[in-house]
């Protein structure tokens, strides 16, 4: 059996990094397109989805100690259906890594290195992800813990600096299209929030699983807080109509920073630099989940083969889309897959677990 190396508090970094990633750069537009200037309510509402997802994974683990989510699915839905779902999970995770890597390199190309070939950026971006996963969960946990303050600080810095250009008129009119767009908007958050699924894969590594619960809650609050701050600020600074036109609203937000003194020009490049580690941490958690999922799928313990075998797949996916628009189209499809997992598979597993538990307790009595 694997050695349990993680402490309860380490879960905080996994939850925040798993959910706050490269999508933070684009989410204001995705949400505002549906929820217009009430998009911030969609984000607030998505907290419910985040808590539901986070605690579902936690609860499933308490019912199946020492099993990760792929093993739990297999145990509940049988080997055949289990494997099919694992294939779907593999497609979902690997394409998420690939498309995120693409979105990431697109933004790097746009703001930092406009003439460097995309393939070089993709490979360079993939390097730390592969290196991180190859070093094991304890190392990953240390790296994520170290980078957590960066996520929080850069969000706070952006909020504080950009709040100089806020126009409070932009958040009106409130709920002029009713509640439906707000609800629909919150579904856009399912994809980033499903990053919380890392819980399902790392729970068996914690030495005191009960302590994890508190940190899942705090982690969800931090990530929802970050999304809420960024979306609200985009709406307040640009207004919903302008936000819809922006490819990277969050980076444009840093462009809006106005300072009295001329400390640095082009703040967006600076913020882009700060987002690099954030993008990395999310992709690395996905990659780790993917490795564990594939191990269960192939009933294999060949770490190196499975870890390195995925590299060509997500690099291929990363160079596949023809343009930024294409990439968003594919990300939309992945979002559908995310919703399928969040609202069909996970409830199904929960119901079957409940059913099985009841049967066991009935048999006992």
Partner 1 sequence: MLKKFKQKLFSKNINRSNKNTENIVELLKAFEVFKDIDNNVAFIQNILTDSEDVVYRELMLWDRKAILIYIDGLVDRNIIENHIIRRLQNFNEESENSILTVTDVKEKILAISNPEIVKNYNEIINGLLTGESLLLIDNEQEALTLNSQGLEKRGVEEPFAEQGLRGPRDGFIEDIDDNVAAIRKRIKDTRLKVQYHTLGQRTQTKVALVYLNDKAPEHVVKEIEKRIQEINVDSIVGSASVEQLIENHKWTVFPQVLASERPDRIATSILDGRVAIMVDGTPYNLIAPGTFAMFFNSSDDYYERSIVTSIIRIIRYMSFLIASTLPGLYVALTAYHPGMLPTTLVLFITGSRVGLPLPSVVEMLLMLFTLEILLEAAIRLPKPISQTVGIVGGLVIGQSAVQAGLVSPLVVIIIGFTAITSFVFPYYTFALTNRALRIFFLIGGAFWGLFGIVIFWILLIIHLASIESFGVRYLEDFFSFKKEKLKDTFLKDGYPSLLGNAEAIKGDKKE
Task: Write out the residues near partner 1 by the rule CB under 8 A.
Answer: 5, 7, 9-10, 12, 108, 112-113, 116, 120-121, 124-125, 127-128, 131-132, 135-136, 138-143, 145-147, 262-266, 269-270, 273, 276-277, 280
CB of residue 5 vs partner 1: minimum separation in angstroms? Answer: 6
**Pair of tokens at residue 159:** 């909020």
Compute φ and ψ for 9, nearest 5 degrees.
Answer: -65, -25
Residue closer to partner 1 by CB (options 8, 239) is 8
Q: Are 345 and 200 in contact (CB under 8 A)?
A: no
Buried-exposed string 186-214: b where 16+ CB fall within 10 A, e elsewhere: bbbbbbbbbbbbbbbbbbbbbeebeebbe
Closest CA to 199 of 5, 55, 66: 55
Closest CA to 17 of 247, 184, 202: 202
**Pair of tokens at residue 319:** 């160079």
CB of residue 261 vs partner 1: minimum separation in angstroms? Answer: 9
CB of residue 16 vs partner 1: minimum separation in angstroms? Answer: 12
Our CA angle for 322, 26, 195, nearest 5°, is 95
Tell me which residue has tokens 């998420």: 96
Q: Are 139 and 288 in contact (CB under 8 A)?
A: no
Q: Are 112 and 120 in contact (CB under 8 A)?
A: no
Residue 206: strand pairing partners: 6
Distance (Å, rounded) from C-alpha 185 to C-alpha 129?
Answer: 31
3-state SS class at 49 = helix
- For residue 253, count CB atoms less than 10 angstroms from its CB and return exposed for 0-12, middle for 13-18, buried for 19 or more: buried
**Pair of tokens at residue 127:** 């390097």
CB of residue 285 vs partner 1: minimum separation in angstroms? Answer: 14
Looking at residue 6, what DSSP letter applies? B
Closest CA to 129 of 260, 314, 323, 305: 314
CB of residue 263 vs partner 1: minimum separation in angstroms? Answer: 7
Residue closer to partner 1 by CB (options 147, 324) is 147
């Amino acid at each position: 059996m694997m050695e349990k190396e993680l402490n309860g508090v380490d879960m905080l970094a996994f939850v925040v990094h798993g959910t706050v990633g490269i999508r933070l750069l684009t989410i204001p537009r995705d949400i505002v397109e549906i929820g217009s200037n009430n998009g911030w309510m969609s984000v607030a509402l998505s907290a419910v989805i985040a808590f539901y997802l986070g605690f579902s994974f936690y609860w499933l683990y308490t019912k199946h100690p020492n099993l990760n989510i792929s093993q739990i699915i297999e145990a509940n839905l049988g080997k055949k259906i289990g494997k099919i779902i694992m294939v779907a999970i593999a497609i979902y995770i690997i394409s998420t890594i690939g498309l995120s890597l693409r979105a990431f390199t697109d933004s790097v190309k746009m703001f930092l290195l406009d003439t460097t070939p995309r393939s070089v950026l993709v490979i360079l971006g993939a390097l730390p992800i592969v290196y991180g996963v190859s070093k094991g969960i304890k190392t990953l946990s240390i790296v994520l813990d170290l980078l957590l303050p960066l996520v929080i600080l850069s969000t706070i810095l952006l909020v504080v600096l950009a709040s100089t250009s806020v126009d409070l008129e932009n958040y009106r009119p409130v709920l002029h299209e009713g509640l439906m767009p707000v609800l629909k908007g919150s579904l856009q958050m399912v994809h980033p929030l499903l990053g919380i699924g890392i819980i399902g894969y790392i729970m068996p590594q914690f030495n005191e699983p009960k302590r994890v619960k508190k940190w899942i809650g705090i982690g969800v609050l931090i990530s929802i807080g970050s999304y809420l701050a960024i979306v609200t600020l985009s709406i307040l600074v640009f207004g919903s109509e302008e936000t819809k036109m922006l490819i990277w609203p969050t980076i444009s937000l840093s462009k809006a920073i106005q300072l009295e003194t001329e400390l640095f020009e082009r703040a967006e490049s600076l913020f882009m630099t700060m987002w690099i580690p954030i993008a990395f941490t999310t992709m690395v958690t996905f990659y780790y989940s993917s490795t564990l999922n594939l191990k269960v799928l192939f009933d294999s313990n060949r770490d190196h083969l499975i870890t390195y075998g995925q590299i060509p797949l997500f690099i291929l996916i990363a160079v596949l889309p023809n343009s930024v628009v294409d990439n968003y189209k594919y990300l939309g499809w992945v979002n559908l897959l995310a919703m399928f997992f969040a609202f069909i598979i996970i409830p199904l597993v929960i119901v079957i677990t409940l059913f099985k538990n009841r049967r066991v307790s009935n048999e006992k009595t």
